[in-house]
Amino acid sequence: MVNNMTTYYEHTPVMLQECIEHLITDPNGTYIDATLGGGGHTLAILEKLGPQARVFGVDQDQQAIDAASQRIGEDPRCTILKGNFGYLSTLLPPPFRGQVAGILLDLGVSTHQLKEAKRGFSFQQEGPLDMRMGAYTGLTAYDVVNTYDYERLRDLIFHYGEERGSRKIAQSIIDARPIESTQELSTIISEQVPPKFRIKSLARVFQAIRIEVNQELEVLKQVLQQGLELLAPGGRMVVMSYHSLEDRLVKNFMKSGNFEGLIEKDFYGNPVCPLTPINRQVITPNDQEIDRNPASRSAKLRVAEKVGDPGS
Ligand SMILES: C[S@@+](CC[C@H](N)C(=O)[O-])C[C@H]1O[C@@H](n2cnc3c(N)ncnc32)[C@H](O)[C@@H]1O
C-alpha cells in the first residue's frame, strides 16, 4: 500500500488506444505490461480482456508497485511482479513462457518519478543525485557525476544526451567536484549553455546520467531478446520509446531480430527474421494528445509480431 505520507503523482498513459489496439489479439490470452508505472496501461488492458485472461504487471520501482496495486485492486486475472524487466524471463512463472500473447513496454520514467524531488530525476527541483529507478543497481547519479573521468562523462553526455556542448559541460562538472545535489548540477550545466538552450541542455544531460545509472540500453536489449522467447507464435511486442537510441534498438530488433538491423538470409536468399513489423511507419501521438500531455511529444510506438503459426 502507498504510505499515506507519500503523494503518488499520477502518470497520464501515452497513446493508450494505440497501444491497446495493437497489443490485444486474443481476449483471453496472457499479457505482460513490463513497465507497470501507475498502472494506466494495465487497467486499460484488463478492461478489454475476458475472464480467462492473465496480465502480469512488472516494475522495479516499489512506489509504482504500491500505487498500481492500490489502483488496480483485487483482480484475479492480474499479478504484479517487482523486478527489473532485464530479467523478464525469470520473473514470469515457467508455465507462461512461450505462451504470451503480447508484451507492452512504455520506456523511461514516470511522471511520479520525475516529480518526486528526492528521487533526483528532476533538474527543476532540489534533490539528491540519485536517479535509481529500482534498488537493483548500486550506481547512483552521484557516482557518475563525481567519479567518472572526463572522456567517459563527455561521451555519455554526447551519446545518451545527444548534447553538443558535452565537452564544456563534462569539464565544468569535473572542475566543480564534489557536486552534491541536482540544483548544484543544474547551475553548473546552465553556466555552460546560452540561455535559450538551457532547458533543453539540462533535460539532455539529466537524461544521459539517468540512462547510465539505470543501464537503460543494456536492459532494453535484454528485455527485447527475452520478450521474443516468451511470446507465443503470433504474439505481439508493443514498444514505446522516448529517445532515438532506444528507438533505433527497437526498430532494428523488430526488423531483423538483432540490434544492428542486419537481415539474415536462408539458403535460397529469403530474409529470415523472428519478428514481422506490423506498421511500416512509426506511430506517434497526435496533436491533441501532445496538447493534452506534452510529455508524450517524443514518444515513438513500434509493433511487431512473432513469426510462426499461432496454432503450433
Ligand atoms: C513511463 S513509465 C510507465 C507508465 C505506465 N505505462 C502507466 O501508464 O502508468 C515507466 C515505468 O517503467 C519502469 N521501468 C523502467 N525501466 C524498468 C526496468 N528496467 N525494469 C522494470 N521497470 C522499469 C519505471 O520504474 C516506470 O515506473
CA distances from 122 to 8, 115, 210 (A): 16, 7, 10
Q: Cα-flanking dihedrals φ and ψ of residue 281, to 5°? A: -100, 145
Q: Is the model's pLDDT at 252 over the cut of 80?
A: yes
- C-beta contacts of 136-144 below 8 A and 24+ residues apart: 136/60, 136/84, 137/213, 137/214, 137/215, 139/212, 139/213, 140/213, 141/209, 141/210, 141/213, 142/179, 142/180, 144/209, 144/212, 144/213
Which run of H or E residues covers position 232?
Answer: strand 231-241
Residue owning grid cell 536492459: 219
Instruction: Compute the distance from residue 108 Cα to the ligand 1 centre, in Å.
Output: 6
Model confidence pLDDT, tens digit, residues 48-83 = 999 999 999 999 999 999 999 999 999 999 999 999
Mean of the per-residue pLDDT values for the chain?
95
Ligand 1: centre distance to CA 14 (Å): 12
| Ligand 1 geometric centre to CA of 113 (Å) | 10
State which ligand 1 atom lies nearest to the alpha carbon of 40.
8
Instruction: Ligand 1, residue 10: give the atom nearest the CA.
Output: 9
Q: Report the pLDDT value the prediction gives residue 260, as an integer from 0 to 100.
A: 96
Question: Which atom of ligand 1 lies closest to the CA of 41?
Answer: 8
Q: How many angstroms is it from 65 CA to the middle of ligand 1?
A: 10
Please tell me the residue having the least CA distance from ligand 1 atom 13: 35
Rg of the chain in Å (alpha carbons) = 20
pLDDT at residue 311 in the model: 66
Residue 108 has pLDDT above 90, yes or no: no
Q: Looking at the CA of residue 110, tell me the nearest atom of ligand 1.
A: 2
pLDDT tens per residue across span 199-217: 999 999 999 999 999 999 9
CB 205 within 8 A of CB 189: yes
- Rounded distance between C-alpha atoms, residue 120 and residue 113, angstroms: 9
- Omega of the bond prior to 94 within 30 degrees of 0, cis? no
What is the arithmetic mean of pLDDT over 265-273?
93
Over the stretch 165-206, which tens digit does the pLDDT of each residue have? 999 999 999 999 999 999 999 999 999 999 999 999 999 999
Q: Ligand 1: residues whose CB is within 6 Å?
A: 11, 13, 35, 37-41, 58-61, 64, 84-86, 106, 108, 110, 133, 219
Q: Which of 211, 204, 129 is CA-nearest to residue 165?
A: 204
CA of 160 to the centre of ligand 1 (A): 19
* Residue 175 CA, ligand 1 centroid: distance in Å: 34
Domains present along the chain, CATH in parentheses: 16-112+216-306 (3.40.50.150), 138-213 (1.10.150.170)
> How many whole angstroms separate alpha carbon 218 and alpha carbon 222?
6
Bridge partner list, 30: 54, 100
Q: What is this structure's pTM?
A: 0.95
